[in-house]
Structure 1
Amino acid sequence: MSGDGNQHGHTHRLDLDDASVREWDATVVGVDPERGIVLDRSAFYPGGGGQPPDQGVLLWGGVRTRIVGTVRGDDLYLVPHDGDPVPPVGTAVRGALDDERRTQLMRTHSGLHVLTGVVFRDFGALVTGGNMEPLSARMDFDLAEVPPDFKERVAEAVNAEIRTDRRITVSNLPREEAFAIPDIIRTATNLLPPDIEIVRIVDIAGLDTQADGGTHVASTAMIGQLEVVKMESKGKGFRRLRVRIT
């Protein structure tokens, strides 16, 4: 990706411009029978980094087409629900996200960034994997030794940071400038493709700065509360935390 970091193929990604966008006008610029619908502008988060894709609808000519996911390729292909009509190329549509799902995913994703920030700060551990659904998630850490009260200490520290109402901001930096930031990659393996020239940075003021492509709330207070439901040991140095957002 080069140039406009918020452009994927023919689609300008409104989700990266402003994560609060839920409805917008667009034009269909491509249709692939196998993959889906391409818009010139879209707020559908296509999935990635553990965050699943958005769902929603396209409204056109009195018709509703449900969108159940996204296929990434040279373009972002919105996947219509089986049996729903597909708008032809050139059609003006109104896009609308499932607001509850997106908002819950934003709260969850931001909560995970607070979690990784706290575990890195307090225990020096990097992330080895993770996945999320609305209001629930798992996060894996490279952590050889843990104190007996680790789960409780992490939950207490995370919720203290959430209550602090730290501002969450997003910026785009040239790759070289982004990698000059200490600990910008919080995963044990650098998953950032080498051809990415513009790096999207998510910053939780005073706590955590990471390269990240997902959607987030504007401040930690909007997350709610994070509960560490369970800690699992998956082998030497491999700890899995299962969390819930309430």
Structure 2
Amino acid sequence: MKTKLIYLENSYTFECSAKVVAAEGDELALDATVFYPGGGGQMADRGTLSWDHGRQQASVIALRKQGEVVWHLLDSPPPPVGTEVTARIDWDFRYRMMRTHTALHLLCGVIWQEFRVPVTGGQMYPDRARMDFAMEGLTRERLAFIEQRVNEAIEADLPIRVYTLPREKAFAIPDLIRTRTNLLPPDLEEVRIVEIVGLDLQADGGTHVRHTREVGGIRIVRAENKGRLNKRLEIQLVDELSGSNSDAALP
């Protein structure tokens, strides 16, 4: 049993038809899904499944990926195996996650280019995101510089490419893994690559926008010391930029 992962093929697909292939309690598995189950700091999608020509509907309240199957937990008993359903995600939430995830890659790319320090953690939320770096001292000047460089990359409207490479070829790319520890499964045969052309290239399994300008802009709203060599930067997306906010970022 295997679920076709439509979100990996096209992050902009918000609806698909699918067939129920397994059910356990209030969970079901589909032969294809647009629902991103979460991972890598990105929250799982929200949305609904409908069937019987739209006369019946259930909310997807949680997701999990087990092996090659995505399980959808519903808020009511699932339809029988073999039922054709329509899976539809909350597009506004997904697109926010796409913009935010790309923003974190921009932040990571700029910091890697300028300071060559790895990522030690990260998490995305609907209204903010944070990323941790193995970095020494942060100053207001450095924060302002990082924020400016990220927003310049956004304004440059850099294209974003998503593709897969055989494991051996992927790991021949210098600095492909930006986390301090390689989190990729040892039996993974192909590696999904997200490339912000001219700025950043990483192994990644999440959803992203197609061009950096879709991010809008970012503010670094908080910076925290999490140890001598661990600094946490919290960002928020903005739709319009009007000067730096980095003076308010340091505690």
Structure 2 residue identity aligned to 1:73: Q
Q: Which residue in 1 is equivalent to 2:230?
A: 238
Give the number of equivalent residue pairs: 235
User: Is 2:47–2:88's contact at 8 Å kept on the other side of the alignment?
Assistant: yes
User: Is 1:10–1:29's contact at 8 Å kept on the other side of the alignment?
Assistant: no
What is the TM-score when the length of structure 2 is the normalising length?
0.91
Displacement of 1:148 in angstroms is 4.2
- Structure 1: gaps of 5 or more residues: 1-8
Structure 1 residue identity aligned to 2:142: F
Q: Which residue in 1 is equivalent to 2:30?
A: 39
Partner SS for 1:116: helix
Displacement of 1:147 in angstroms is 4.0
Superposition pairs of residues 97-108 of structure 1, within 5 angstroms: 97-108=89-100
Q: Distance in 2 between matches of 1:72 and 1:41?
A: 13
Q: Does 1:146 align with 2:138?
A: yes
Per-residue displacement from partner, 1:152-190 (whole Å, max 9, x unpaired)?
111111000000000001000000000111110011111
RMSD, aligned CA: 1.1
Superposition pairs of residues 71-150 of structure 1, within 5 angstroms: 71-74=64-67, 75-81=69-75, 84-150=76-142
Structure 2 residue identity aligned to 1:76: V
Partner SS for 1:237: coil
Displacement of 1:124 in angstroms is 1.1
Q: Which residue in 1 is equivalent to 2:210?
A: 218
Q: Distance in 2 between matches of 1:102 and 1:88?
A: 28
Q: 1:52 aligns with which of 35, 43, 52?
A: 43
Q: Which residue in 1 is equivalent to 2:56?
A: 63
Query: Which 4+ stretches in 1 moved above 6 angstroms?
Result: none
Per-residue displacement from partner, 1:175-209 (whole Å, max 9, x unpaired)?
00001111100111111111111000000000000
What is the TM-score when the length of structure 1 is the normalising length?
0.93
Q: Distance in 2 between matches of 1:232 and 1:91?
A: 50
Q: Does 1:26 align with 2:15?
A: no
Relative to 1, partners in 2 of residues 1:239 and 1:190: Cα closer, same or farther, differing over 3 Å? Answer: same
- Structure 2: gaps of 5 or more residues: 239-251
Structure 1 residue identity aligned to 2:32: R
Q: Distance in 2 between matches of 1:107 and 1:134?
A: 10
Identity of aligned pairs, percent? 43
Displacement of 1:68 in angstroms is 1.5
Q: Distance in 2 between matches of 1:135 and 1:212?
A: 22
